[in-house]
Amino acid sequence: MKKIILFCLSALIINLSIPNFLQADFRYQVDFTSRYIWRGFDLNPNKQPALQPSFEYSCGDCGFTLNLWSSFSFNDKDSNEIDLSFTYDFKPVENFSLKAGFIFYGWYFVDNFSFKENTSQEVFVSAGLPKLFFQPRLTIFYDFGNGDGFYILLNSLYSHWLSKSWQLNLSASLGYNGGQWLAEGVDSGFSDFNIGLSLLFKTGRFELSPFAHYTVVLLDAIGTENHFFFGISVIYK
């Protein structure tokens, strides 16, 4: 818990210490989730919950976004994770959006931590059609560190405002694992199918969003059990 408090305080100090002329858009978010499921993998074993705070800075029209994201297990420090990502949004062309970025994954709380063994690096490119009804988007990730492989994600999102304060979001995605975080010699293939439901409530600068997700695992090398998880997001902009 001390590490979680320290993380949140550090993000707040960074915000307050930056001169006003550099500030553009800051976003704070804390998710409480009953499971930590990522690309079909169960990253917090034994069906344990996780607390996942994040801090994001976007420099407005320049296109760059910096995100600091973390996941804290309540029972297993080896599952604790802190990721740093940089994203660049290219200027949209009519109904087409394009972005690219870099993610640095880190598991800093394991015993005998080393950057070589307990971190990994990933690049990605993502293209979407945000004006279409289900906002389809295709993203290709390539891990050139310990993950050593690629992952392709096709996802869609439908959003509908029920009122001025309430928004319904429905999502679906399909993932293809090209050897990423898989044992050597394991065949690639479609790895996970996901559906999600969330309800967003906005009040002033705060947003509250309870959510529920179901993941169908399609690749035996990832696991044989499907996952249902739920939680709530608290967002401040």
Each residue's pLDDT tens digit, 170-186: 999 999 999 999 998 89
The DSSP element (H or E) to which 105 belongs, if any, is strand 97-106
Q: Which range has the worst mean pLDDT, 45-49, 86-90, 104-108, 191-195?
A: 45-49
Predicted confidence at residue 184, as pLDDT, reads: 87
Arithmetic mean of pLDDT, 36-47? 93
Distances (CA, A) of 22 to 61, 62, 169: 12, 12, 32
92 pLDDT tier (thresholds 50, 70, 90)? confident
CA torsion sign for 68, 76, 234, 191 is positive
CA torsion sign for 26, 212, 214, 133 is negative
Domain 2-236: CATH superfamily is monomeric porin ompg (2.40.160.40)
46 pLDDT tier (thresholds 50, 70, 90)? confident
Domain residues of the chain, as ranges? Answer: 2-236
Average pLDDT over all residues of the chain? 91
Distances (CA, A) of 139 to 152, 188, 206: 6, 17, 29
**pTM given for the model:** 0.88
Three-state DSSP state, 7: helix
Predicted confidence at residue 161, as pLDDT, reads: 95
Predicted confidence at residue 23, as pLDDT, reads: 57
Between 9 and 84, residue with greater pLDDT: 84
Task: Examine the pLDDT at 3 and tell me if it is beyond 70.
Answer: no
Task: Examine the pLDDT at 90 and tell me if it is beyond 80.
Answer: yes
Do 33 and 210 contact (CB within 8 A), yes or no?
no
47 pLDDT tier (thresholds 50, 70, 90)? confident
Arithmetic mean of pLDDT, 231-236? 98
Between 25 and 231, residue with greater pLDDT: 231
Three-state DSSP state, 106: strand
Q: What token pair was written down for 8?
A: 């949140």
Predicted confidence at residue 156, as pLDDT, reads: 98
Distances (CA, A) of 157 to 28, 66, 140, 168, 171: 22, 23, 18, 10, 4
**What gap in Å lies between CA 30 and CA 208, rounded to an integer?**
10
Task: Examine the pLDDT at 5 and tell me if it is beyond 90.
Answer: no
Query: Which of 59, 49, 7, 43 minimizes the C-alpha distance to 28?
Result: 7
Predicted confidence at residue 135, as pLDDT, reads: 96
For residue range 114-161, list pLDDT tens digits in order.
999 999 999 999 999 998 989 999 999 999 999 999 999 999 999 999
Predicted confidence at residue 125, as pLDDT, reads: 98
Predicted confidence at residue 22, as pLDDT, reads: 57
Percent of the chain exceeding pLDDT 90 equals: 79
Q: What token pair was written down for 35?
A: 């499971």
Task: Examine the pLDDT at 222 and tell me if it is beyond 80.
Answer: yes
Q: What token pair was written down for 108?
A: 């800093």
**What gap in Å lies between CA 33 and CA 129, rounded to an integer?**
29
Predicted confidence at residue 15, as pLDDT, reads: 52
